[in-house]
Every structure is written in C-alpha cells, then in structure tokens.
Amino acid sequence: MQLFEKLGFVWNRSAVSAGQSTSVERTAFRYKKALAEFVYDAGALEGNPFTYPEVQTLLDGIAVGGRKLEDQKQIQCLGEAAKRLFSMVNDREFRLDKSISNELHRLVGADEVLDPGYFRGEGDPLNLTVWPSVYLGKEGRYWPLPTEDGAPELNRVFSEGVAVLSKEVSDARERGMAYFLFGALQQFYFDGNKRTSRFMMNGILMSHGVDAISVPAARLQDFNEKMVRFFMEKDATEMMHFLIECQPQSAPKPKPGIVPSSGLSI
C-alpha cells in the first residue's frame, strides 16, 4: 500500500475507529482551558521536574524558585507553542505543512535544540556532520535518514508523506495520530521531534473538531515502552490504541456514587 510505503510504517486500519467530532470552537476552547495540563504532560515526557502547580504558576507569568533555568525555559517554550497552536486553530490558520511544523518547532526548541525551525541540513552548515539517533535502551538505537546539505531526502519524505496522508486518510483522528508517529520516526529535526509532532497531531485533530490528545505524565513508562516497539517493529497499531485511550472522551466514566478527582497532579 502506497500509504504505508510513504510513511515508513504500517497499522491495522480496520482496528482504528473514527474519532468523535464537534465544533472547532469547542475543541479549541477545551484545549485552551486545559493548556497547563498539556504543557505539564509534555514536559514530564521530556523528564522535566516541574510539578503541575509550578507549571500553572509559570504560565501565569510568575517565576518559580528552586528550579534549573533550562527546565524553566523548556516549560515556557512548550507554553508558547501551545498558545500559538491554539491561536492557529481558533483563527483557522492551521495547516498540515512544513511552514507550520517549522514555526511550532522554533517555539518548542528555542535555545535548546540545534537549528530550531529548520529541517536537519537546512540550518547552520556546522551541524551537517550531526546524525542524531533515537536510543532504544537494550534494543540499541534507531537511525533515521542521515543529515544532508539542504535536506533533500527529508523534504521528499515529508512532502510525499503529507500528500498521501491527506489523500488516503479521511478520518482526522487517524490522520493526526499517523502524522505524530511519522514525524517521530523520520526525525526531521535534530531534536524535539515528538514534541513538535504531537503539536501537529493536535492541530490536525482540533481543526476537524476532534479533541486534542495529551499523554498523561502517569503513563510515561507505558508511552516509552510502546514507542520503542514502534521504532523496532514499524507497526503503529499499538501506539494508536494507546493514544486513543489518552483522548478525553476515551476516559472511563466514574461509577455511580464516585466523585471524580480534580485532576490535580501532586
């Protein structure tokens, strides 16, 4: 199938149900309301030690003492990217293209990653010798396409992947999840690929009235283990099921008489 060939992985399409949809305004509103939660979860997946209350405080513009400057900067960058994504979706500016991905990556990776906002090979020529890999623990390393001057192969893979997703995957949730895994696997940037690809995934979802997905900090180990298997086997079925479980409407309803928690992380 051309879809799987262009993306570099497969999944059981019949096992991925269509996502529930509502209005773009509602999904954007719900995302903005839970923005601190999305930022906290994204930071936790990167090993950032900021607590949820500290993230809320920092996003409100109040400094948090006792934390490393680089950890604070990472949370601030995630916050800026999350706010920008909200405005893109709310103002109907979001598109599944390279310019949007680069803009979000520039916000995510400011002062942290090599060549923020550029594909590998399109930025500083001094970085052309850098060939990043993904560490998979006992499974070794995953090596994506090498870094080349001007990133011709990365641009080809990106363009063909986006085109086939837009043409062959009509369901927004399936397309968004597939894009996240596509960006994570192909490693278009030196770093920040999963963060940027999750923002892009949520842009796809919300632009079609589907609620954004955040991987809870409590499921970090589960997320990492499943991502390792994805990199090794190139089968996205398990990861897609996992992401669906993380979507708001997929959460189990409380039993009668049980009062749901506030969701505050301790």
Q: List the pLDDT tens digit at each of the 266 positions of the chain.
A: 799 999 999 999 998 887 788 999 999 999 999 999 999 999 999 999 999 999 999 999 998 999 999 999 999 999 999 999 999 999 999 999 999 999 999 999 998 999 999 999 999 999 999 999 999 999 999 999 999 999 999 999 999 999 999 999 999 999 999 999 999 999 999 999 999 999 999 999 999 999 999 999 999 999 999 999 999 999 999 999 999 999 986 444 433 333 333 333 32
How far apart CA 231 and CA 223 sit, in angstroms, is 12
Residue 170, pLDDT score = 95
**Cα–Cα separations (whole angstroms), residue 50 to 37, 65, 73, 76, 220:** 12, 11, 11, 11, 15
The contacts of residue 37 (CB under 8 Å, 6+ apart) are: 52, 214, 263
Residue 261, pLDDT score = 36
Residue 128, pLDDT score = 97
Structural domains of the chain sorted by starting position, each given as residue range(s) with its CATH number in brackets = 2-8+22-250 (1.10.3290.10)
**Are residues 205 and 176 in contact, defined by beta-carbon separation less than 8 angstroms?**
yes
